[in-house]
């Protein structure tokens, strides 16, 4: 047995181990970056929905600015489908003949696109799904606050 044979085997083994370490490290780093990206996307999408809900229930300059900022932030991270949906929403908003009903249809498409980008399971089964988006009903709340105290008390007894 020659002394160089075990040395060559040990060198090759060490090289393979070192290469495996670097590949494993690179894959783990890539996985961690994907997770951070998904967490960031989810946070932005949640902000979009919160701003939408707030603007729908209480339309003020501040709520509108929050909504616009959330839409603009999505432009930085969105894939092609979501970008097209956001563009459709902006076009409908800027069109003098654009309607609220059309905006809600587009928002539902936006929600579907967001779910696709987040990799939600079974999203493909939700094509055309009418996402039930709840918004505060301030008119009903104000009506309830304006009822006379004795009428409220009477209805509580019955």
pLDDT value at position 109? 93
The rounded percent of the chain whose pLDDT value lies above 90 is 40
Helix axes 61-77, 80-94, angle to 10 degrees: 150
Query: pLDDT by residue (tens digit) across 9-65?
Result: 888 888 898 888 888 888 888 888 888 989 999 999 999 999 999 998 888 999 999
pLDDT value at position 148? 53
Query: pLDDT by residue (tens digit) across 67-77?
Result: 999 999 999 99
Name the more confident of 82 and 30: 82
Q: Is 59 left (phi over 0), alpha (psi -120 to 50) or beta?
A: beta
Kindly state the average pLDDT of the residues 87-113: 92
As a whole number of angstroms, the distance between CA 90 and CA 137 comes to 24
Q: What is the mean pLDDT of the chain?
A: 84
Residue 133 has pLDDT above 60, yes or no: yes
DSSP annotation string for 37-96: HHHHHHHHHHHHHHHHHHHHHS--HHHHHHHHHHHHHHHHH--HHHHHHHHHHHHHHHST
Residue 157 has pLDDT above 90, yes or no: no
Confidence of residue 156 (pLDDT cuts 50, 70, 90): very low
pLDDT value at position 1? 54
The answer to whether 107 touches 101, Cβ cutoff 8 Å, is no
Provide the token pair at 118.
């987040």
Provide the token pair at 96.
């003098």
Residue 97 has pLDDT above 90, yes or no: yes
Kindly state the average pLDDT of the residues 123-144: 75
pTM value is 0.69
Residue 100 has pLDDT above 70, yes or no: yes
């Amino acid at each position: 047995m020659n002394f160089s044979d075990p040395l060559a085997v040990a060198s090759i083994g060490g090289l393979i181990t070192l290469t495996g370490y670097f590949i494993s490290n690179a894959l783990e780093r890539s996985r961690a970056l994907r997770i951070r990206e998904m967490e960031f996307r989810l946070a932005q999408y949640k902000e979009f929905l919160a701003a939408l809900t707030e603007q729908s229930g209480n339309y003020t300059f501040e709520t509108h600015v929050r909504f616009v900022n959330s839409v603009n932030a999505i432009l930085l991270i969105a894939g092609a489908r979501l970008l097209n949906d956001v563009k459709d929403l902006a076009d409908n908003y800027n069109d003098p003949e654009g309607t609220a009903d059309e905006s809600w249809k587009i928002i539902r498409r936006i929600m579907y696109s967001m779910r696709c980008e987040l990799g939600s399971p079974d999203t493909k089964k939700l094509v055309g799904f009418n996402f039930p988006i709840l918004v505060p009903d301030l008119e009903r709340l104000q009506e309830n606050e304006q009822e006379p105290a004795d009428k409220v008390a009477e209805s509580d007894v019955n």
